Amino acid sequence: MTPNADLEYRILIHAPVGKDARLIAELFGRAGVDCGVCAHLGQLTEELGRGAGALLVADEAITPEFLRTVGHFIEHQQSWSDLPVLIMSRREAASPGLQHRYLELGNVSLLERPVQGVTLVSAAQSSLRARRRQYAMREVDQRKDEFLAMLGHELRNPLAPIRAASDLLRIPTLDRDKIQQTSEIISRQVKHMTGLIDDLLDLSRVSRGLVTLSETLLDARQIVTGAVEQVRPLVDARRHRVTVQMPIEPAFVHGDQKRLVQIVANVLNNAAKYTPEGGEIVVALFVDEDTVAYTVSDNGIGMAPHMIGQVFDMFAQAERSSDRAQGGLGIGLALVRNLVALHGGRVAAYSEGIGKGSRFTVTLPRAEAPGRTAIPEAQGLAPVRPQELHLLVVDDNDDAGQMLGLYLETAGYRVTVVQSARAALEAARTDPPDACLLDIGLPDMDGNELARALRQLPPLRAATLVAITGYGQEADRAMTAAAGFNHHFVKPVDMQALLGVLAG
């Protein structure tokens, strides 16, 4: 039987002897506590199935049959549920043996009779407060399950074309154009998967307070420009018209430029996804004496009133069709809320209802205008030609190591690929490399230990060490830096960025 939400906040009273049940129900009614009286065990079982916030039982009702029936119900509760059971117990019934029997019912509180009315009401209200917290966890659990199902769907989607492209590349007669097209498909899908994973890790780091902001004084208008540029491909693909409204004079904020652009871009991305094709989106910057406010308004699908209060929750998402046409994980707004809080601001959502569009407002503290400062020009360095460099690639995943090595050889480098730390040390002694690209999760010695061992070899004391790893949190980067690495790349590696490091 599916519980009824209207009945889940009531207390079921089972006191089959005398007038106790009726008197307690009257007491609860005067105190505003919703309750229901169950005269016999069959009725109690039925009402428990319909929904209950707590159970109040007189000890004379706790028969072996009661323990079997109610005990079975409690044993098979959902993982989030721990039904509070209040037992009105006579003093002589509070022996250790009987208490042990009571505790078989789980979340039990014993109330010694005679019970004062104020004590009984207070215990009932306390039980219902605890039950409300359980219901809140139930909602989070449900949203988490939906989110994980969606995550599986989103990660499988790009795997399908990658798998097909891999099979296609096995065909020996495939012409150059088809190979180029297939390579571009793989690259796009890997980039998409990387973005999904980065979003997940980003949200985890921000939620746990592991993100450090690189704060500078910024013109608030530049944030809008950067965000619009970032979301432009999606906006163009969906044929939206974006109107940007900004003041002529600059207004300044203190913040991390990358994160502030991410905030506005995530809100704009949300508007672009949930506005039907050819929609209207307005991005505006409003400035007053103390604050700077970014607003993103659209004429899209809007939000139901109950969603407005949940839209920034970690696992919350609007109603979506089974085809998942909008794509993404739906965690962008949760990330926005956390990043805005780190900047000392606030974020709010508004919608008149389904089909009536949405408006999101990000408000940040305004900073004083700066004085003029000179910006030093970057000093250029002549890149090293690839053919002058010998690279050592170490990865226990043979496919990953060979593909990275093949790519670097194609770029003009001389490359040695090995699969273990022991083989890496031997290769480094025999033919010292100019740079080493090391996986961290090696079976015989982790990459950090290997880096320290390589630094002990005189020819490698000045070599460039690049960590290639699946771990990218601040603590992981600190560990590789302490081990002597010059650079830290997270898999899948941005090859253009890697080539830039090697060229430098």
In this prediction, residue 382 carries a pLDDT of: 40
In this prediction, residue 491 carries a pLDDT of: 82
CATH value of 386-503 in 1.10.3720.10, 1.20.1090.10, 3.40.50.2300, 1.10.287.1400: 3.40.50.2300
The pTM is what?
Answer: 0.50
Lowest mean pLDDT of 34-43, 79-88, 128-137, 365-374, name the range.
365-374
Are 12 and 35 within 8 A, CB to CB? yes
Rounded to 5 degrees, what angle do the CA atoms 141, 139, 205 make?
55
Q: Output the CA–CA distances (angstroms, integers) from residue 132 to 47, 87, 120, in the order listed.
A: 18, 20, 19
More confident residue, 475 or 147: 475
> In what helix (H) or strand (E) does residue 131 lie, and over which residues does it extend?
helix 117-169
Res 354 pLDDT > 70: yes
pLDDT-derived band of residue 168, with 50, 70 and 90 as boundaries?
confident
Are 295 and 306 within 8 A, CB to CB? no
> 215-365 — its CATH code?
3.30.565.10
The segment with the largest mean pLDDT, out of 129-133, 193-197, 210-214, 328-332, is: 129-133
Q: Which sequence spans correspond to the domains of the chain? A: 5-138, 139-207, 215-365, 386-503
Res 299 pLDDT > 90: yes
Q: Assign 242 to helix, strand or coil.
A: strand
Helix (H), strand (E), coil (C) string for 281-317:
EEEEEEECCCEEEEEEEECCCCCCHHHHCCCCCCCCC
Q: Assign 11 to helix, strand or coil.
A: strand
pLDDT > 70: what percent of the chain? 86
- Mean pLDDT in residue range 330-345: 84
pLDDT-derived band of residue 377, with 50, 70 and 90 as boundaries?
very low
In this prediction, residue 47 carries a pLDDT of: 92
The two three-digit tokens of residue 382, written as one number:
């002549």
Are 121 and 30 within 8 A, CB to CB? no
| Mean pLDDT of the residues in the chain | 84
Rounded to 5 degrees, what angle do the CA atoms 295, 297, 301 make?
145
- Mean pLDDT in residue range 484-502: 88
- Helix, strand, coil % in the chain, rounded to nearest 5: 50, 20, 35
Phi, psi for 255 (deg, rounded to 5): 180, 180
In this prediction, residue 112 carries a pLDDT of: 85
Are 301 and 122 within 8 A, CB to CB? no
In this prediction, residue 98 carries a pLDDT of: 60
CATH value of 5-138 in 3.40.50.2300, 3.40.1160.10, 1.10.645.10, 3.40.50.300: 3.40.50.2300
Res 150 pLDDT > 70: no
pLDDT-derived band of residue 37, with 50, 70 and 90 as boundaries?
very high
The two three-digit tokens of residue 212, written as one number:
């450090």
In this prediction, residue 56 carries a pLDDT of: 94
- Terminal alpha carbon distance of the chain: 67
Non-local CB neighbours of 374 within 8 Å, separated by 6+ positions: none
Res 140 pLDDT > 70: yes
CATH value of 139-207 in 3.50.50.60, 1.10.357.10, 3.30.565.10, 1.10.287.130: 1.10.287.130
The two three-digit tokens of residue 402, written as one number:
């060979």
In this prediction, residue 191 carries a pLDDT of: 78
More confident residue, 285 or 78: 285
In this prediction, residue 232 carries a pLDDT of: 86
pLDDT in tens, 217-275: 999 999 998 888 888 888 888 999 999 999 988 899 999 888 899 899 889 988 998 89
